[in-house]
Structure formats: C-alpha cells, structure tokens
Amino acid sequence: MNCELCVNDSGDVLYRDDFLRVVLVTNEPDYPAFCRVILNGHVKEMTDLAEPERARLMDWVYRTEAALRAVLNPDKINLATLGNVVPHLHWHVIPRFADDAHFPAPIWAPRQRDGVAHRVDGLAERLRSALQA
C-alpha cells in the first residue's frame, strides 16, 4: 500500500493511541498550528466506521479544536475532511485568524495577503497539555 498517512505521521505527534493520532503539521509555514486527527487504520469514509468509532474519532476532533482554542484564541476554527488526494480518513483542524494569509477563504484558496503566521513558543507541548486536560 502506498498511503502516506499509513506510513508517515507528517508532523509532531501530540497524542497517539491504538485507534488514532493527533498531529501538529510541520510543513505548513503559514499555519504553524494546523493539526490533523488521523485514523490509524486505512479507512476511506466516516460511514465505513461503526457508530462508536465515529463518535470516538469526532470526540478527538472536538478535543483538538478545544485545545487549539485554549492555547491560541483564534478568530475561527476550520474543520475539514477531504481525502481526495489521500483517501485515508483524517480531519484537518485549523485555527484561523482574520490577518492570516487566506482569511476568510479556505487555506487552500489563493492567498489574500502576506498574512501573519501566529507562531507560539512551545506550541506542541502546550497543545499536548491541553489535549490531556
């Protein structure tokens, strides 16, 4: 299998268990607090999961959103699950600020301005702590 999410965390792991992992993405310089909640098993769609598994996955999406809000106080949080390029179930949890490069458009849209990246010292450790709270 040639699935990038099956073989690579693609960032700094904030939380991991037997079911999923929460990753702080390290290759998005405009969005240093961009997180992904990634199912460990290779599954393509939410409805491929049983109801308890869907609830468990979404609980971690919500926990990640809450941690980002607590640590960064963003103007908005974007939640997205696409999977068109990588058909492995994962959620993007992206803190947004009115002065970021793309706001109010999605981060994958054309840039609107240079933008501010909103870097935070010790971000990974602060998010790990917030996720455990």
Per the structure, how many domains does the chain have?
A: 1
> What are the pLDDT digits (tens) for 57-85?
999 999 999 999 999 999 999 999 998 88
Percent of the residues in the chain that have a pLDDT greater than 90, as a whole number: 93
> What are the pLDDT digits (tens) for 81-90?
998 888 999 9
Q: How far is CA 59 from CA 20, 42, 64, 65, 126, in A?
A: 11, 19, 9, 10, 19
- Separation CA 114–CA 100 (nearest Å): 8
| Residues spanned by the domain of 92 | 4-132
Q: Read off the CATH number of the domain in which 108 is found.
A: 3.30.428.10
